[in-house]
Amino acid sequence: MSALKIRKGASRHSAYDLRDPNEERQETHTLAVLVDNEAGVLARVIGLFSGRGYNIESLTVAETDHEGHLSRITIVTTGTPAVIEQIKAQLGRLVPVHQVHDLTVEGPAVERELALVKVTGSGDKRVEAMRTSEVFRAKVVDTTLQSFVFEITGTPEKVDAFIALMRPLGLTDVARTGVAAIARGF
């Protein structure tokens, strides 16, 4: 710590970049983890992240094989390449984990996210919200005289762009599922 008690690299919003220029850059990776579908497994996987201070950007979980009692956890996380490798190694050592796939490095993958977006407004803003939803191929799943609820599916970037455009048109609420991803091809 310096005399001013500012930790090195303490603020991303500072006018001065205090971080080490030799530091490895942060990367975002999508991990697909096949686990036993039993009580406490998700808590153990998430505990691995929280116990070591790793961040989870997105998390989705669902049973994928009812007869085999298997679930798939899709985790989007950020870290240096060394941290990502450490996360994969530690996940692989957990007893209920069968497979860990880093979809970011294993080849092309399809990523989708679902969001429900509530927009409240009237007049021109209401008409503009409908036009924008058509461009993004968002479906209207609920409507009242004062509001719409849109369902949009796509890449996280597409969902982010739609939300950004709806903000000035009366965005009041957003519910997102998190990323679901699967490798392309064989």
Q: What is the CATH number of the domain that holds 97?
A: 3.30.70.260
Cβ-contact 104, 181 below 8 angstroms: no
Q: Is 13 helix (H, G, I), strand (E, B) or coil?
A: coil
Domain containing 68: what range? Answer: 27-102
Residue 49: the pLDDT is 93
By DSSP bridging, strand 55-65 and strand 109-120 are unpaired
Same domain, 56 and 96: yes
Looking at the 3D structure of the chain, how many domains does it have?
2
- CATH number at 118 reads 3.30.70.1150
Residue 25: the pLDDT is 86
Same domain, 95 and 122: no
16 DSSP 8-state letter:
S
Average pLDDT for runs of 10 along the chain of length 186: 50 54 82 95 93 92 94 95 93 93 94 97 94 97 95 96 97 96 88
Residue 10: the pLDDT is 47
Same domain, 115 and 96: no
pTM of the prediction? 0.78
